[in-house]
Amino acid sequence: MGDDDLDEEVEFWGLLYLDPLLELRLLTAEPSARAELAPGTRPPGEALTAAALSLAGDAGLRRLLDAAGIGEDFAAAVAAVLTTPDCRHFMRSPAAETEAAALARAFVAESVRRRAGSEGTAQAFDGTARDEAVARIAALLPGTAPAPDEAGTHRGPVTRRVRRLAGRLAVGLASAQAVRRRSALTDAAHPAAGDVLLYLSRGTAIREAVAEAVRAAEPPVVLLAHSLGGIASLDLLVLQPLPEVALLVTVGSQAPFLYELGALPSLEHGSPLPPQVPRWLNVYDRRDLLSYVGEGVFPGRVRDVPLDSRQPFPLSHGAYWSNPDLYRLLAEEMP
């Protein structure tokens, strides 16, 4: 899948997280989906509904859902989707015979929406794990299932039309979506912003707690820090020598941004990193609006490593921890 296609997929999932039933409504609006069933034909949704209600009993699916971070919410999400008028309309349409993957995506999107809403912050949802769960669900449901590597995406003649229509809807409803998403984005960014403000006012105690943990560990120490933790860790290493630390790994961090603003407590903008700062890997996701690259502001002192969670923001800010690429990187780089 090319970058443009991948971006399109991520944006489509972003729409599904806001409205898990969107694809089902678009499919039932297709001309082919409005065709009348032959007399005496049972609606395809009857078998589909029965199979959907038994999904939670599949051990393989449970493992995939847990890996995707949504196992606890899946059964409730399935029940919620199945009882909506939009889903009942889909179940009575011919689209239900061939678009089981769309129903699978609705179940997963509703699960993610519930989990993110209950926690109030971006969770560790990885796009690959999500798509594997969708593929398993689609395989367990009756109907024409896509290839396993395509179930989490929106391909095929019908789904391509759905995606184009969804794109037009997204453009036409941009202002409305922006208003709806503003609260979600603000809610997601607010904890990080609040943490940074707290750190800037009370950073000494936070840095000292990190320093004590480093001194108590057996060297060589790898300092692995996410978001605000990256700011505190870099500050600590700039302010005092900690020879025990052999590697600093920041993940989704705002430290380079604060440095550019002149707001990093330990280092004025324009001042170089002192030699005592160890080797530094800075992991970021271009879809994570709270992660910043550092090579441009600290040339020769930091290596930026891009990861792609295939999740829209704000989920992308927490999705590093369910991305196998992060752990492969750590295994390769740890001293």
Quote the pLDDT of residue 69: 82
Question: Which of 147, 172, 197 is the last residue before a domain boundary?
Answer: 172
Same domain assignment for residues 131 and 218: no
pLDDT at 299 over 80: yes
Cβ atoms of 283 and 326 closer than 8 Å:
yes
Which is more confident, 179 or 51?
Answer: 51
The answer to whether position 74 is within a domain reads yes
pLDDT score at 156: 46
Residues 135 and 14 in one domain: yes
Mean pLDDT, range 29-46, rounded to an integer? 60
What is the mean pLDDT of the segment spanning 273-287?
94
With bands split at pLDDT 50, 70 and 90, how would you rate the model's confidence at 36? low
Mean predicted lDDT score pLDDT of the chain? 81
Question: Is pLDDT at 178 greater than 50 in this prediction?
Answer: no
Distance CA 316, CA 300 (A): 27
Q: Do the domain assignments include residue 66?
A: yes
Q: Which own/partner contact pairs does 175-183 have at CB distance under 8 Å and 24+ positions apart?
A: 177/15, 177/18, 180/18, 181/18
Residue 266 has pLDDT above 60, yes or no: yes
Residue 180 resides in a domain: no
Is the confidence at residue 32, as pLDDT, over 80?
no
Task: Tell me which of 10-14, 174-178, 233-237, 284-288 is least confident.
Answer: 174-178
| Among the ranges given (141-155, 228-242, 306-320), the one the predictor scored with the smallest mean pLDDT | 141-155
At residue 166, the pLDDT reads 53
From the list 216, 234, 237, the residue with the least C-alpha distance to 226 is: 234
How many CB atoms are closer than 10 A to CB 163?
A: 22
Residues 211 and 145 in one domain: no
Lowest mean pLDDT among 92-96, 233-237, 327-331: 92-96
Judged by phi (left if over 0) then psi (alpha if -120 to 50, else beta), residue 8 lies in alpha
Question: Among residues 308, 256, 310, 258, which one has the least CA distance to residue 284?
Answer: 308
CA–CA dist 296, 77 (Å, integer): 44
| pLDDT of the residue at 44 | 63
Asked whether residue 115 falls in the same domain as residue 13, the answer is yes
Q: Give the E-state strand segments of the chain in sequence order.
A: 221-226, 245-251, 279-284, 303-306
What domain range is 54 assigned to?
A: 3-172
State the average pLDDT over residues 229-239. 94
Mean pLDDT of 307-329: 88
Distances (CA, A) of 58 to 18, 62, 258, 289: 27, 6, 47, 36
For residue 216, name the pLDDT band (cuts at 50, 70, 90): very high
Average pLDDT over residues 32-53: 68
Under a CB-based contact definition with an 8 Å cutoff, are residues 225 and 252 in contact? Answer: no
Number of H-type helices and E-type strands within the chain: 15, 4
Asked if residue 179 is part of any domain, the answer here is no
pLDDT for the residue 27 = 87
What's the rounded Cα separation, in Å, for the pair 321 and 309?
9
Residue 178 domain-assigned (yes or no): no
Stated pTM of the model: 0.66
18 & 146 share domain: yes
Residue 10 lies in a domain: yes
Q: What is the pLDDT of residues 141-177, one digit of tens each?
A: 986 555 555 555 554 444 555 555 555 454 444 334 4
pLDDT, position 182: 39
Residues 113, 237 within the same domain: no
| Same-domain status, 126 and 195 | no
Tokens of 209: 């707690």
Statement to judge: residues 70 and 167 lie in one domain:
yes
Bridge partners for 222 per DSSP = 247
The whole-angstrom separation of Cα 131 and Cα 143 is 18
The per-residue DSSP string of 16-73 comes to HHH-TTHHHHHHHTSGGGGSPPPTTPPPTHHHHHHHHHTGGG-HHHHHHHHHHT-GGG
How many domains, in total, are found in the chain? Answer: 2
Least confident of 100-104, 204-208, 309-313: 309-313
pLDDT recorded at residue 167: 53
Give the C-alpha separation, 100 to 93, whole Å: 12
pLDDT digits (tens, 9 = 90+) for 95-146: 888 888 999 999 999 998 888 776 544 466 778 888 999 999 999 998 655 5
Closest CA to 247 of 274, 216, 214, 269: 214
